[in-house]
């Protein structure tokens, strides 16, 4: 049975540190390395930033719910908002070299989430709720002789 941890924040970027700390503590406790924990926290930060900027149009008085589900071999982070819908199919595959060579700022959130996590899924829930679900599998510790 999955263990669930929950946190709700207001949609203000000042609250992102609180979310990163919440997610990092859960990931470390679950057994992820410092490197993997940082990747998970960054992916969640990007998802919340996208919600604040795009779904809520920078309105600081809306809520974002973060739920962490810990399964035996993976961690799932469900991030729920009630803002504008997002269609991930509208995001074209990113050529990072081309993107960076044009000195573009932003636009990397979905790319980073997909790169840092094992699965990224978008769902529409009942009512006017949106969910992005980020999954990272816990790999068994490797011996130091590999790699």
pLDDT at 99: 45
Task: Provide the 10 A C-beta neighbour count for residue 119.
Answer: 13
pLDDT at 89: 66
In a domain, 145, yes or no: no
Domain at 109, CATH number:
3.30.565.10
In a domain, 35, yes or no: yes
3-state DSSP call for residue 107? Answer: coil
pTM of the entire predicted model:
0.83
Span 5-13, mean pLDDT?
97
* Domain membership of residue 92 as a residue range: 3-137
pLDDT at 101: 53
Can you spell out the DSSP letters for 58-106? T-TTSEEEEEEEE-SSEEEEEEEE-SS---GGGSPPP-HHHHHHTT--S
In a domain, 34, yes or no: yes
For 74-127, how does the pLDDT look when each residue is reduced to its tens digit (9 = 90+)?
999 999 999 998 766 666 555 555 545 555 455 566 778 899 999 999 999 987
pLDDT at 139: 79
**How many residues are present in the chain?**
147
At residue 37, does pLDDT exceed 50?
yes
At residue 31, does pLDDT exceed 60?
yes
Tally of structural domains, the chain: 1
Token pair for 7: 């946190």
For 58-67, how does the pLDDT look when each residue is reduced to its tens digit (9 = 90+)?
999 999 999 9
At residue 54, does pLDDT exceed 50?
yes
In a domain, 97, yes or no: yes
DSSP state, residue 33: -
With cut-offs at 50, 70 and 90, classify the pLDDT of residue 147: very low
pLDDT at 28: 96
**What gap in Å lies between CA 37 and CA 42, rounded to an integer?**
9
At residue 145, does pLDDT exceed 50?
no
Highest mean predicted confidence (pLDDT) among 8-17, 107-116, 134-143: 8-17
In a domain, 36, yes or no: yes
């Amino acid at each position: 049975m999955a263990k669930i941890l929950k946190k709700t924040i207001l949609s203000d970027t000042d609250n992102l540190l609180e979310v990163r700390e919440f997610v990092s503590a859960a990931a470390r406790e679950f057994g992820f390395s410092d490197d993997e924990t940082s990747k998970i926290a960054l992916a969640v930060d990007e998802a919340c930033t996208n919600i604040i900027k795009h779904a809520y149009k920078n309105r600081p008085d809306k809520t974002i719910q973060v739920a962490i589900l810990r399964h035996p071999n993976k961690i799932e982070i469900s991030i729920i908002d009630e803002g504008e819908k997002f269609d991930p199919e509208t995001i074209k595959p990113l050529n990072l070299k081309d993107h960076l060579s044009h000195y573009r700022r932003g636009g990397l959130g979905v790319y980073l989430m997909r790169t840092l996590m094992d699965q990224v899924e978008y769902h529409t829930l009942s009512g006017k709720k949106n969910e992005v679900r980020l999954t990272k599998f816990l790999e068994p510790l490797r011996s130091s002789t590999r790699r």
